[in-house]
Every structure is written in C-alpha cells, then in structure tokens.
Structure 1
Amino acid sequence: MSTVFSIAALLTGSALLLLAGGLHGLLLPVRGLAEGFSDSSLGLLGAGWALGYMAGCLCVPLIVQRVGHIRTFGVLASLAGITLLLNLLLLHPFTWVLLRSLSGFCFAGAAMIVESWLNERATNETRGKIFGIYTMINLGATTIGQMLLTLGDPNGYLFFVLGSIIYSLALLPTALSTAMTPAPLTQARLDLKLLWKNSPIAVVAIFLVGISNGAFGTLGAVYGRRIGLEVSDIAIMMSLALLIGAIIQIPIGYVSDRLDRRIVLVSVALMAMGIGTSLSLFGDYDTGLTIALVAAFGGTIYSMYPVIVAHASDHADPGDFLKTSGGLLLIFGTGTMIGPLAAAGLMTATYPGALFQVTAAAHLSMILFAIWRMTQRATLDTDEKTDFVPVVSTGRLSTPETSLLDPRTDQDELEDRADEEDLETKPSN
C-alpha cells in the first residue's frame, strides 16, 4: 500500500488520461457515421492515430529535453482536449484525420511522461507491482471511458465537452506533484537486423497483429453500427472485447510458459480466424450473440501481443529487452497504420463483415509463417524462457517508457541507460 500511495497522483493522472482516451477513441467513429463519413475516411482516423502516436514516441523525448516534463505534459494534455473540441467544430473527414494524428502525438507523449515518473519511483523490487497496478488502472479507465457512451446521445456536444474536461483534469496531478523531475525519456529504436536474427516469427507476427488489432480497434464500432447495433450495444461490445482480452492473457501466459509459444500463438490465431470468419460469413446473428462473438474475438486478438513479446525475449541476449520491446513497438505501430486502411477499403467496396476478412487474412498468414518457423528452429526448454508478462495492447499503444516498467527489464539495462543519459546531458568541454 505504501507503494500505491507514493504514486497515487501519477496513477490518477494516467487514469484520467486513459478515461478521456477511451471515450475519444470510440466517440469519433460513432459520430462520424452519424455525420455520413465513409468507411474509408474512418479507416484513415486509425492510420492517422497510429502515425501520430509513433511520431510522439520518437519526438517527444527531444521536446522534454528542451522545456521539461511538466511543461511538456501540460501542453500535450491541453492540445489533446483542444483537438477533441475541434472535432466537434470542424465536422469534415480530412480535418478529423489531421486532428486524430495530433491527438495520437499528444497521447503518446503524455503517457510517456507519466510512465517516466513512475519509472523514477520504481525500484528493482517494486517495478513488477507498479507495472501490474498501472496496467489494471489503465484497463479499467479505458473501459469506463468507452462505457460513458451508453449514458447519452453521441450526436450532440456533451461527450466532446466531457472528454475535453477530463483531459484537462489529467493535468492537475502531474502539475501539483512534488516528485523530482525524472530522467530523460527513452526513445524507441528499431534494429530490424537484430530483431530478425533473434526471432523472425516475432517480427512477422507483431506486424500482422498490428494489422488485425488496428483494423478492429478502429472499425469495430463502424461494423457494429453498419449491422444495426445501438450505440450502447457497441460500447458494451468493444469494452467486453478489451476486458476479455486482458483476462484471457493469464491462462494463455501460463500455458505459453510451459509449451512452445509458437504453438500457443498458432492456437490463439486459429480461434481468432474462426470467430472472425464466422462473423464475416454469417453476420445475421441476434444482438446478444454478435456481442458475445465479438467479445470472444477481442479476447483472442488482444492476447497475442504479449505472447509475441515473450517469445522474442526468450531468444534475445540478456540485457536486450529494451531494444527488443522498443523495436517490436515500432513494427506493431506500422501494422496499425495499414490495418484500418485495408479494412476500410474492403468494407466500402463490399460489406461490413469484410472487416473480419482482413483480420482473418492476417491471422492465416501468421499461422502459416509460424508453422514454417517451427520446422526451422527447435523450441526452448521451460527453464530457458523468460517469464510471461500480461500487456494490454489496445486502448493505446505501449510506449518506450512502458518497457522500463516491465519486470523483465534487466537491472544492467537500467544502469546502462542511466550511463547513456549522463553522457548525453553532460556539457562538452
């Protein structure tokens, strides 16, 4: 409890940020459909978000070096609230794509700063506890944010104003915090050669999971609206998909620690492909069954990311977890840009269920590549594996700072990072 109390203000700021983000992310496709936006333009919202988010992970550390953590966080949280209000004032698809990119940039930077403070307060003994608490709070906040849409009409101005207020409230805990300014932020670095050498299946699978998760996360609400679901049903459907995806990671992680993770990944992908194909070909279910199937689908696709990261970590050299997770983050983000565009184009040309044809194609490709890789490399013994750590791969993407909180991060890596920061900040003679 002393650990929780010491970081309560930071966790509150993060919860408010994710609460507004959950509402923001689900509100836009629902309102966009009401305004007559095409599926293709709504798919661009997802691509714009991913592009802005990746840019934030790369660029915000440089901004923080110039003006500091608190000022940067204040600017980013304020801009996120402003972009949400501008979505209400500027009801045009092209404008919304630009604004969504800006909100992705702001969200990535603000999340990195909160996580940087948490990293500063964490010790090697408490990092795992803080990581678990942080993950649970963010999951709950994102779910509540999505469920807020059940309380009113998204066609008015209420939820846009409410979301902007919550973004502003997220400023207060950080602005009033008496914690020392944390170390400089970590930048994501992509070493594709190293990642491919360690685990080709991780590189391919994380990209394909990005396509699948990006398509569903952006256009799941569009699919629900196109088949006649009410807004409240869509909010419940998308929230259940997120919750089940988080819960099911526990048994999947337990099994993957004891079996070949590639077999576990193939099994989960087969389930996702089966459920998605069912939704694509036989989409005339009643509301309750549709929600149940989509929730089960979310449970499968949102549990793949941590299995892939764990598999890559199994084959990485000791002390390379930060490089591995940071590189996979950027590859995952690239997939989340492509998925919404491909799915939106196919949905526009055919029918709403085509969303799940795109996800099924991604999962089938993953299955075939994983099966081939199993013939090329033997599985590791159980005692050679790293521990599985649940990670929520939706609501927002992880940031490079998230990896520092991960209990799999080696103490030597943290010390090497600190040495690098000292060299970067030391004035030249």
Structure 2
Amino acid sequence: MPRNLLPVLALLLGTLFLFFGNGLHGLLLPVRGTHEGYSNEMLGLLGTSWASGFVLGCFLAPALIRRIGHARAFSVFTALIAIVALITGVIVDDIVWVALRAATGFCIAGTSMIIESWLNERATNESRGTIFSFYIAITLIGVVGGQMTLALGDATTQTLFLACGIFYCLAILPTTLSNAATPQPLKAVKLDLPALYRTSPIACFGILLIGIANGAYGTLGAVFGARAGLSQSSVALMMSLTIFAGALAQFPAGRLSDRVDRRLVLAGLSGVAALAGLLVVVTHPFEALHLIPLIIFYGAAANALYPIAVAHANDFAAPEDFVKVSGGLLLLFGIGTIIGPTIGGPIMTLYGPHYLFAVTASAHLAIALYAIFRSRMRAPVPVADRESYATMPMGTTPVSTPEASALDPRATAEDISPEGQPEAAPAEQEGERP
C-alpha cells in the first residue's frame, strides 16, 4: 500500500472499534429494555431519538468541528459516546435511555463526518475507490462483529455495557497516536429537496420509505426477536444476518440495475422484502430455524435498495450535483428512520411483535407500486449514459453523512479538488495532529 495511505490505516482501525461499539450498544439496549419490561413504544423511541440526534448532528456538528479541529472533535465526540454507553449500564431507566440516545446519535454524526472527510482528504483519484471499499467493509465488519458480541455476555448485567465503553475508548487511540495532519474544515452542502424530487420522484419517495422500514426493523428487530422467544444469541444472529445478507446482495443487485431499468429492480427487491415480511406476519415463526431463512431474504432485499435508489437519482442529475443529491437523499433516509420506530412500537403493542413486519411490508409494497408507476411515466436513461453503481455503507440505520458523498468514486472534479485532495485550511495545515 502506498506510503501516503498509511495514516488511513490508523483511522480505519479507529473506525472499526467505533462501529464495534455502535453495533453492540445499538442491539444491547433493546434487548436489555425488553428484559426490563419497557413498552414497545419506549423501545421504539430509542431509535427515533437516535435518528433525530443523527440528523441534527449532520447540521450542527460541523460548527464544533471547525471550531476545535478534527482531532479534538473526534476525541470529544467519541468520549461522550463512551460516557453515554457506561451511563446506560448504570442508570437503567427508559426515559434516561431515550434522552441519551439522542446524544449518541448526534455524536455519531460528528464522528462519521470527521472520518469521512479525513478519508477523503487522504484519498487520490487512484486510491479513492479502494479507500471507499475499505470504509464500507470496516463499517460492515464493525457493526456485525459488535452485534455478535452480544452472544458472548449477559445483557442483564453491566458487563456488555462496559465492553461498549472499552470499544469506544479504543476507537480514540489510533488517530490520537497518528502524526498525520488533519484535513481542511468541513464544507457546508446546500440541499434542495424540491429540486431533488423533480429530478427523481421515485428516489425521494423510495428512500423515505426505505428509511421507515429500515428504521423500524433496525430499532425494533431485537425487540421482536426477544418477544418472539428467541434466545439472546439467536437475536444477535438474526440482526447480524440481516446486514450481512444485504451486503452480499448489493453487488449482484447493483450490476443488474446497471443493465435494466433501476426502477424495475427497486420494484422487484421491494416485492421480495414485502413478501418476506408478510410471511413472518402470517406464519408467526417462533423458532430461529424457521425465522432465520425469512430474515436472510428480507435483509438481502431490504438493504440492497438504498444504493440502487441513489444510483437512479444520479442517472437523471447533473454530474456536478452528485454530493448535493446524495446528501439530500441521506436526509430523507434519516427522516424515515425517525418515523419508522415511532410507528412500529404502537403497532407491535396493538397486534403483536410479528406485526413489526407489517410496517416494513407496507413500506416496501408502496415502493414497489410507485416504482412500477414511475417506470411507465418516464423512459429510463440509456445504459451507456447511466452513472455507474457503487456499493454504499448503508444498513438498518444511517451510518454515513453527506461527507461520504465526496469520498464516493462517482464524485466528480466539481465535488472535490483536482487529484482528490482539497486545499488545506491555513489554520489546520501544519498545526494540530490527530
């Protein structure tokens, strides 16, 4: 690996520990909350609060990052996340947890923006695709590894909460010990949602609904598993397989969407996700042996939708608007993840835990129907003129910010400076080190 990429290894190592903590803590809270007898509504608010904090952080965190610099801000955000994780293990109270999840979401947005801008600063046109792929892999390994850690401990004790704190503290060390210069201050991305809708109605509508479905499942999937009688290890396996199946499905689904109308691919995948969800509702599988296959099909279809919708939007957008389009769609996804858990909790209380998948199936069915409708309203972009598909670090909840758009290999020279490295800001060019 080229010498100028060595500092990225330290950052990616810190990212791995950060997402290990995210994966474990995000799954631990609903499992422990279910054991404590918290209502579905309160457990749903954990996801709503996290997503609200994340969306708010995408707007407000850059000001703090510009004020104190990337390295200090990363340490501050990560330390706050660690403190929150430890407090949730000490103060077991649903209202306190909901408030603290908003703080976690805010800080995760800040750390993600720092990581993504930092990686973009170190990337060249030649290495951008490799670094972007590594980032996707790291987020996947981190979240899945953290979730599987749940099976190694007892959620009813403080041990796993302590493990979360350890992972977050470890995330600070690699970048703190690195001697690479910090990147330039974050740039604000102006979003225009009405213009984005005119560019691609199905991408806007679809990604909002994808956020609703993924947010509901990402927050309440563990609650469903626990209430359906699955063991703690089976719940961890179920949630991890959802993400892993989605990651494996992205490449073949994306390549198919490069060859046929992406809206038909969206309709087909949404139909598969809706069918898998409806089968869970109708058959009520109470054993992992019967539930896991349906979850694999659900995860493969549901988690492959987001990058295809982004690629479709970019087919109709000007190349220089890539970052603006991706940022707007991410905002819509974040709004959806706020709505999903808020709806899912009461539905589960009224009709039973399996009806969580009635919420996801309704969203996916709406995507399928609207995608078919839109395919009859406008001709697809010719294959030769389409934007190339690329996998994206998107799972059940937002894990990237608008900063990731500049890191994407599809970003153009109008989005980033020549050779992929923006000019360093005078205040940070030679001073602070990570």
Match of 1:401 in 2: 403
Kindly indicate whether residue 52 of structure 2 is the aligned counterpart of residue 51 of structure 1. Answer: yes
Tell me if structure 1 keeps the 8 A contact 2:406–2:415. Answer: no
Bigger drift between 240-249 and 5-14 goes to 5-14
Tell me if structure 2 keeps the 8 A contact 1:188–1:330. Answer: no
RMSD: 1.9
Match of 1:181 in 2: 182
Tell me if structure 2 keeps the 8 A contact 1:238–1:295. Answer: no
Match of 1:148 in 2: 149
Q: What are the residue-to-residue correspondences of 1:271-350 with 2, within 5 Å?
A: 271-350=272-351
Tell me if structure 2 keeps the 8 A contact 1:124–1:411. Answer: no
Bigger drift between 180-189 and 383-392 goes to 180-189
- CA-to-aligned-CA distance 1:35-58 (integer Å, 9 cap, x gap): 111110000000001001111111
Q: Which amino acid aligns with 1:404?
A: A
Rate the CA distance shift 1:201–1:6 in 2: closer, same or farther, 3 A. same
Rate the CA distance shift 1:396–1:330 in 2: closer, same or farther, 3 A. closer
Q: Which amino acid aligns with 2:70?
A: H
Q: Secondary structure at the match of 2:155?
A: coil
Match of 2:252 in 1: 251
- CA-to-aligned-CA distance 1:303-323 (integer Å, 9 cap, x gap): 000000000011001210000
Aligned partners of 1:373, 1:359: CA distance in 2, in Å?
Answer: 21
Aligned partners of 1:264, 1:182: CA distance in 2, in Å?
Answer: 38
Tell me if structure 2 keeps the 8 A contact 1:280–1:356. Answer: yes
Aligned partners of 2:40, 2:423: CA distance in 1, in Å?
Answer: 46
Match of 1:378 in 2: 379
- CA-to-aligned-CA distance 1:190-236 (integer Å, 9 cap, x gap): 31122012101111000000000000000111111111000000101
Match of 2:16 in 1: 15
- CA-to-aligned-CA distance 1:311-342 (integer Å, 9 cap, x gap): 00110012100000000010110000000110
Bigger drift between 198-207 and 365-374 goes to 365-374
CA-CA distance at 1:285 after TM superposition: 4.9
- CA-to-aligned-CA distance 1:405-427 (integer Å, 9 cap, x gap): 100000222139998997999xx
- CA-to-aligned-CA distance 1:78-134 (integer Å, 9 cap, x gap): 100111111122221111111001001111111211222111110111111100011
CA-CA distance at 1:6 after TM superposition: 4.0
Q: Which amino acid aligns with 1:97?
A: V
Q: Which amino acid aligns with 2:378?
A: R
Q: Which amino acid aligns with 1:414?
A: I
Tell me if structure 1 keeps the 8 A contact 2:70–2:114. Answer: yes
Rate the CA distance shift 1:311–1:421 in 2: closer, same or farther, 3 A. farther
CA-CA distance at 1:397 after TM superposition: 2.7
Bigger drift between 223-232 and 56-65 goes to 56-65
CA-CA distance at 1:4 after TM superposition: 5.4
Rate the CA distance shift 1:186–1:201 in 2: closer, same or farther, 3 A. same
Match of 2:112 in 1: 111
Aligned partners of 1:420, 1:27: CA distance in 2, in Å?
Answer: 42
Rate the CA distance shift 1:370–1:424 in 2: closer, same or farther, 3 A. farther
Kindly indicate whether residue 34 of structure 2 is the aligned counterpart of residue 33 of structure 1. Answer: yes
Rate the CA distance shift 1:323–1:34 in 2: closer, same or farther, 3 A. same
Bigger drift between 117-126 and 264-273 goes to 117-126
Tell me if structure 1 keeps the 8 A contact 2:183–2:424. Answer: no
CA-CA distance at 1:185 after TM superposition: 1.9
Rate the CA distance shift 1:421–1:280 in 2: closer, same or farther, 3 A. farther
Match of 2:414 in 1: 412
CA-CA distance at 1:178 after TM superposition: 1.1
Q: Which amino acid aligns with 1:403?
A: S
Aligned partners of 1:397, 1:327: CA distance in 2, in Å?
Answer: 15
Tell me if structure 2 keeps the 8 A contact 1:249–1:303. Answer: yes
Aligned partners of 1:183, 1:120: CA distance in 2, in Å?
Answer: 8
Rate the CA distance shift 1:421–1:316 in 2: closer, same or farther, 3 A. farther
CA-CA distance at 1:177 after TM superposition: 1.7
Q: What are the residue-to-residue correspondences of 1:134-283 with 2, within 5 Å?
A: 134-283=135-284
Match of 2:67 in 1: 66
Aligned partners of 2:44, 2:286: CA distance in 1, in Å?
Answer: 25
Q: Which amino acid aligns with 1:399?
A: T
Tell me if structure 2 keeps the 8 A contact 1:186–1:400. Answer: no
Match of 2:390 in 1: 389
Aligned partners of 2:188, 2:362: CA distance in 1, in Å?
Answer: 32
Aligned partners of 1:396, 1:382: CA distance in 2, in Å?
Answer: 29
User: How many aligned residue pairs are there?
Assistant: 425
Q: Secondary structure at the match of 1:410?
A: coil
Match of 2:432 in 1: none
Aligned partners of 1:206, 1:249: CA distance in 2, in Å?
Answer: 16
- TM-score scaled by length of structure 2: 0.94
- TM-score scaled by length of structure 1: 0.96
Q: Secondary structure at the match of 2:138?
A: helix
Rate the CA distance shift 1:420–1:376 in 2: closer, same or farther, 3 A. farther
Q: Which amino acid aligns with 1:349?
A: L
CA-CA distance at 1:175 after TM superposition: 1.2
Q: Which amino acid aligns with 1:409?
A: A
Q: Which amino acid aligns with 2:287?
A: D
Rate the CA distance shift 1:189–1:288 in 2: closer, same or farther, 3 A. farther
Aligned partners of 2:237, 2:86: CA distance in 1, in Å?
Answer: 25
Tell me if structure 1 keeps the 8 A contact 2:184–2:423. Answer: no
Aligned partners of 1:146, 1:368: CA distance in 2, in Å?
Answer: 34
Q: Which amino acid aligns with 1:176?
A: L
Match of 2:131 in 1: 130
Tell me if structure 2 keeps the 8 A contact 1:190–1:330. Answer: no
Segments of structure 1 that go 5 or more residues without pairing to the other structure are: none
Tell me if structure 1 keeps the 8 A contact 2:224–2:356. Answer: yes
Aligned partners of 1:396, 1:356: CA distance in 2, in Å?
Answer: 20
